[in-house]
């Protein structure tokens, strides 16, 4: 069975964006960007909510972004090669290849995908991730903790969750970012 991994950039106080919806403080250095690209390289399917999908779709819909550097081109290639499932009741169409639109998150459907998948899946965005956490589908968390306090905003995790975690790995980067890899304990 393939793993479902929650990948998130998080402020030290636990938010993925500040109260104004900004996440500019998560701009990665080349070192962090290379690590993230290598982390998602083996991923076969990304699960996204609408907002996270729209944020990430630029890796295909804006070719000038990938043209900025070899690192960005590599990430764009990795992202475009994977399958994407977007869960949204408001999107009419998706703008990228290898992408399908689902109207609702179905835990049984995701379990079936995990069972048949040859490679890992990721879930992106805290709202969709909350559904996956509540359904017991998340196997690991890959958190990139940024040395910033934003005070309030969109929390990375559901506020009602009590989820025991086991630290598997940590990595420190030169810009103060720390990657923490956790396994969800049953």
Section 68-97 average pLDDT: 97
Range of the domain at 83: 4-176
161 in any annotated domain: yes
Let me know if residue 184 belongs to a domain.
no
Q: Is residue 182 part of a domain?
A: no
Q: Are 158 and 17 in contact (CB under 8 A)?
A: no
What's the rounded Cα separation, in Å, for the pair 17 and 21? 5
The count of domains in the chain is 1
> Model-level pTM?
0.96
Total residues belonging to the chain: 186
- pLDDT tens, position by position, 89-137: 999 999 999 999 999 999 999 999 999 999 999 999 999 999 999 999 9
Give domain status of residue 145, yes or no: yes
Domain of 24: which CATH number? 3.40.430.10
Q: Is residue 186 part of a domain?
A: no
Contact (CB, 8 A) for 157 and 8 = no
In a domain, 163, yes or no: yes
For 74, other C-beta atoms within 10 Å of its C-beta total 16
Domain for residue 162, yes or no?
Answer: yes
Residue 62 lies in a domain: yes
């Amino acid at each position: 069975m393939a793993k479902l991994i929650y990948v998130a950039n998080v402020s030290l106080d636990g938010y993925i964006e500040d109260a104004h919806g900004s996440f500019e403080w998560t701009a990665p250095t080349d070192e962090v960007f290379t690590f993230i690209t290598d982390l998602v390289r083996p991923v076969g399917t990304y699960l996204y909510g609408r907002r996270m999908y729209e944020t990430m779709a630029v890796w295909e819909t804006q070719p000038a972004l990938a043209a900025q550097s070899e690192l960005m081109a590599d990430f764009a290639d990795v992202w475009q090669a994977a399958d994407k499932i977007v869960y949204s009741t408001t999107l009419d169409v998706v703008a990228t290849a290898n992408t399908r639109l689902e109207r609702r998150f179905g835990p049984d459907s995701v379990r079936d995908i995990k069972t048949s998948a040859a490679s890992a899946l990721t879930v992106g965005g805290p709202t969709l991730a909350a559904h996956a956490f509540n359904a017991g589908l998340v196997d690991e968390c890959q958190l990139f903790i940024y040395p910033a306090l934003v005070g309030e905003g969109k929390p990375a995790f559901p506020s009602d969750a009590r989820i025991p975690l086991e630290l598997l790995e940590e990595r420190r980067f030169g810009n103060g970012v720390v990657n923490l890899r956790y396994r969800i304990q049953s």
